[in-house]
Amino acid sequence: MKNRTRYLIAVVLFCLMALIFIQFIWIFKAADDQERHFEYTVIAALSKSTEGLLKQNAVCTQVTNCFNQKGFTCCEKRHLSNDKWNFIDSIIKAELVISKISLDYEFQLTTVPHPHAGYKKNKSRKNCFSVKSNLVTENQESIWLHITFPDRNKFILAQMGLLFFTSILLIAIIIGAFLLIYRYYLQELNLAQDTRNFINNLTHEFKTPLASIRLANNRISKEIRADSKLEAYTRIIKQENDKLDTHINYLLDVSRLKKGKMPMNFDRLNMHEQIERQADSFRLMIEERQGNLTLDLAAGHFWVRADCFHILNALNNLLDNACKYSIEPPEIQIKTSNKSRWLVISITDEGIGIDKSDQKFIFQEFSRVDTGNIHNIKGFGLGLSYVWQVVTIHNGKLLLHSKKGVGSTFSILLPYLD
């Protein structure tokens, strides 16, 4: 059980990490798509700006003079008159506003495709956009318009807006929820362990006084005469003492099975032979209640590798339940068959049945179901939990098919030996 829980936690943790990883990939992809859109929009705005620049001959002449007469490779604000530079700036700003880009920027005109060509990892190179205009110098060099946005990343984050921050918030909430659930799980696990330890200690404490009672009762039995009334009392004390001892040992066995510390003696076992022996021990009790116990041992493969003591105890529990929860007279059938690589042992009764809402909890410790008008049924609610643990240790399966008021069928599936 612990290994299954660990595997489940590992799977959930893996899925959670995968979900977070995918979410981060989606965020980065969304940011990349936003950058591409931003780049496309800026390039389109710059292209329209160069078209508007060509319509102003005076501005074009002054720009080309920077490269022709002065021999510059870069035309900046100090190289042009204020009105010409401001005109170019106004054209660029107008096109950016039309494209809904309201960022601070810097621009320049050069005869090289990129003003930072020598620095491939330069931050300015990443944030710089370049467009080739139709203006050329006397040496037939094309003039490029370059624009840089210092706050480009802030703009992209702003464009992603609520979606980005919501994703980050949801990731944080998922991580927090998982850690909180895991914390509660550890608390419940510790509580269950403390409860189990308490039951173990309590049952061990009971064994000592029971042993003393048994010893004292045996001494009394030896001293009294055969016809004494005390003989009946000592017999009752012995029966009740044995019953208590059985319950205590049963609790200890369940606890050991839960911890995986119960020693198992696996051996080759003829299940048809064992089923017939168990049936014989119950047949007399069933016949006294005017009921019937029938066998249909049709399985061709009935040898299994099992611990005889525990697997017979599991069958005994199921047969005992079939008797206890049957309205008189009990009608019980034990059937065997083979399905795939399994030996299927089915125990069917026509008893009170189990409600569908109770079936999901029926194999849990201390689970009890409503018995209706049957009030003489006693127990700890550990029988089916014990059966389930025994079958699980044998690499088998325990199945239930039941309908309220109709009856129940418990099926033990064990891998058979060839």
For the stretch 290-303, pLDDT in tens is: 888 899 999 999 99
* Segment 295-315 mean pLDDT: 89
Which tops the pLDDT comparison, 261 or 128? 128
Q: What is the pLDDT of residue 199?
A: 66
**Residues 6+ away with beta carbon under 8 Å from 372:** 352
**Packed helices 152-223 and 2-54: angle between N→C axes, nearest 10 degrees:** 170
Give the residue, 355 or 275, on which the prediction is more confident: 275
Which band of pLDDT confidence, cut at 50, 70 and 90, is reported for residue 122? Answer: very low
Give yes or no for residue 105 having a pLDDT over 60. yes
Residues 343, 417: contact at Cβ < 8 Å? Answer: no
pLDDT at 154 over 80: no
Average pLDDT of every residue of the chain: 77
- Please state the pTM of the whole predicted model: 0.47
- Is it the case that residue 24 has pLDDT exceeding 90? no
Top CATH class of 266-415 equals alpha beta
More confident residue, 98 or 237: 98
DSSP, res 416: B
The segment(s) of the chain belonging to CATH 1.10.287 are 179-259
Lowest mean pLDDT across 200-209, 268-277, 293-302 = 200-209
Q: Which of 29-38, 220-229, 233-242, 365-374 has the lowest average pLDDT?
A: 365-374
Among the listed residues 395, 381, 386, 363, the one whose alpha carbon sits nearest the alpha carbon of residue 253: 386
User: Which residue has better confidence, 2 or 190?
Assistant: 190
Over residues 212-235, the mean pLDDT reads 68
SS3 24: helix
Q: How are strands ordered across the β-sheet holding 128-136?
A: 74-75, 106-110, 142-148, 128-136
Give me the CATH code for the 179-259 domain, please: 1.10.287
Alpha-carbon span 261 to 54, nearest angstrom: 90
**Is pLDDT at 124 greater than 60 in this prediction?**
no
What per-residue confidence (pLDDT) applies to 183?
Answer: 85
- Answer with the residue of higher pLDDT: 378 or 273: 273
If you average pLDDT over each of 12-16, 244-248, 405-409, which comes out highest?
405-409
CATH 3.30.565.10 placement within the chain: 266-415
pLDDT of 378 above 60: no
Identify each DSSP E strand in 180-291 by its residue range: 266-270
Q: What is the pLDDT of residue 375?
A: 40
- Percentage of the chain surpassing pLDDT 90? 11
Report the percentage of the chain scoring pLDDT > 70. Answer: 75
pLDDT at 380 over 70: no
Angstrom distance (rounded) from CA 236 to CA 70: 124
The answer on pLDDT for 254 being more than 90 is no
